[in-house]
Amino acid sequence: MNFTLNILGTASALPTMKRYPSAQVLDVRGRLFLFDCGEGTQMQMRRMRLSYLNIGTVCLSHLHGDHVFGIFGLLSTMALMGRTSHLDIFAPKDFGKVLKFWKTAFGEGMRFEAEHHVLSADAPETVWESRNAELLAFPLNHRVEAYGFILREKEPMPNVRKDVIEKYGLTIAEIAALKRGEDVVRPAGIDAEPGPENGFMRFSGGPEPLVISCREATYRPYIPRSYAYCSDTAPFPRLHEWVGGVTLLYHEATFPEELSDMAAKTYHSTARQAAECARDAGAGRLLIGHYSSRYPDVSVFLKEAQEIFPDTVLANEGDVIEVPLRKFRI
């Protein structure tokens, strides 16, 4: 079950010879989510062998050019390739004007619907969900309207322990009830051989009812994974609460602490501030990026962040980060 992050671009504002503007693709069980779409996103997807047509959802954090200039080219290529499947685009309200212009100027012959879902949340809010996962959006603290996103797997149905099945001779109906989170209650009486699965009740085999507790009979098969995308933003008190406990946190780190005044002025974060958010959120791992072009060597960002949150890694173009599935041992 894939949960794989592909880093396409890590630059802020100005691209460099080695760094592209912001863009990431998260593969969740085969569905591709594109977070931001800076200039050059198509080329980076080609290099990383990611299919344009497999993108089902686009999440645009805000309408600064380094986060959206690639969307025109991407939509045009999708149309040229004959895409017919629906495309969901989650973006601030003003993106509607951008999408309307593209459709008017370049959308002739387009065979798919690119639907703009307007973001307006003032706290984490579910904006998309499937049977296995959900996408949440929440406001950030930037110079323009901006949003962060969380993509997380839903809690899996519990598995029933094999030793419990054998011990009690559980029927299919009883196993199903336990998987739904219900306790199984067998009334008092003489035990009988299992009958056909047509609703006949099993008896306890004793003078008292037998309760088979869901809590004791089942186990969680794996820990749901989650990813939070926070770019661009200045620090604010509630952010660490909203991304609390995420498996992998991407937090912009445009400047090192020596330019904290510049970060505050432009509503960005330093590497230290990103690390403080990860620490306070209890995140599993911190990924930083959106580096200022002033710094061709970004090791200063890593050193600064790791002093606060040791499990920090740098985002680099071409990185593929697999979030492993952690199974429970029984």
User: What residues are labeled active site?
Assistant: 66
Distance between CA atoms of residues 323 and 308, nearest Å:
22
- Packing angle, helices 299-306 and 271-281, rounded to 10: 40
Ramachandran angles phi, psi of 216, nearest 5° = -85, -25
Nearest to 35 by CA among 96, 91, 98: 91
Cβ(257)–Cβ(270) below 8 Å? yes
Cβ(256)–Cβ(300) below 8 Å? yes
- For residue 204 the two structure tokens come to 């306890």
Cβ(315)–Cβ(287) below 8 Å? yes
DSSP 310: S
- For residue 177 the two structure tokens come to 């009830």
- For residue 6 the two structure tokens come to 């592909």
**Secondary structure of residue 110 in the 3-state scheme:** coil
Neighbours of 264 (CB within 10 A): 15
* DSSP result, 266-290: HT--BHHHHHHHHHHHT-SEEEEE-
Residue the block writes with tokens 């980060």: 321
**Rg for the chain (alpha carbons), in Å?**
24
